[in-house]
């Protein structure tokens, strides 16, 4: 075999080896970065998450605060995974008069986040369904009237319908009811089943802001 050919083959092998080494190193570093980020998020304790929530890094000028039933670890985790989207959401809530803005749907970031401004009448609990969502987080903030929310863990609920994007309906005998207040909002993550528009005392007209925010597993 000519010396030139032998030299060419060796050059190709060396280049492939270098490329292979660089590729492996790149993949390793990328994987390591992702793992480290995941470990950082997952290492948040309930105490740390609650303190972080109370410090208000996330508010962007929004004055209401999460109800005490909030899963603070899930909130802190989702915020860190999707900070830009959460900041857009809270900034929008802070910059609009939620008591007078017209009823309707407002896009924040396409299908990743939108806000529904709704006016509805509360009903007896027997008429309201328990539900959960897989791909979005419900942030619900009642700005007029009082809404009673039914809360139940996913593990304590039995599905009564097949999943249809993005909702499943349930029945449960372990529903806990909490009334809304003007200074608090509720957040329902995929593991939180909830029952909305339940009357507190008498049926009444309410105004509620419902933000649908992308959930990142």
Give the closest residue to 214 by CA, choosing from 111, 94, 74: 111
- Are 94 and 63 in contact by the 8 Å Cβ rule? The answer is yes
**Other Cβ atoms within 10 Å of 179 Cβ, number:** 13
What token pair was written down for 193? 């089943």
What token pair was written down for 164? 């249809």
Distance CA 34, CA 81 (A): 11
**Domain map (residue ranges) of the chain:** 1-43, 44-214
176-188 pLDDT tens trace: 999 999 999 999 9
95-138 pLDDT tens trace: 999 999 999 999 999 999 999 999 999 999 999 999 999 999 99
Model confidence, pTM? 0.81
Class in CATH terms, 44-214: mainly beta
- Predicted local distance difference test score (pLDDT) of residue 110: 96
């Amino acid at each position: 075999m000519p010396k030139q050919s032998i030299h060419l083959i060796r050059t190709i092998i060396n280049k492939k080896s270098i490329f292979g080494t660089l590729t492996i190193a790149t993949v390793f570093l990328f994987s390591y970065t992702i793992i480290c980020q995941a470990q950082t998020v997952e290492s948040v304790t309930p105490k740390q998450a609650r303190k972080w929530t109370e410090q208000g890094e996330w508010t962007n000028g929004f004055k209401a605060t999460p109800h005490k039933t909030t899963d603070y670890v899930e909130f802190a985790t989702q915020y860190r995974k999707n900070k830009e989207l959460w900041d857009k959401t809270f900034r929008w809530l802070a910059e609009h008069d939620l008591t007078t803005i017209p009823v309707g749907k407002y896009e924040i970031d396409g299908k990743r986040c939108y806000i529904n401004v709704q006016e509805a009448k509360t009903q007896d609990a027997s008429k309201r369904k328990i539900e959960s969502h897989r791909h979005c987080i419900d942030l619900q903030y009642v700005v007029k009237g009082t809404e009673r929310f039914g809360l139940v863990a996913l593990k304590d609920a039995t599905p009564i319908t097949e999943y249809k994007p993005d909702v499943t309906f349930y029945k449960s005998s372990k529903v806990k009811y909490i009334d809304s207040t003007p200074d608090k909002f509720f957040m329902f993550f995929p593991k939180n089943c909830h029952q909305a528009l339940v009357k507190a005392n008498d049926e009444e007209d309410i105004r509620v802001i419902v933000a649908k925010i992308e959930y990142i597993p």
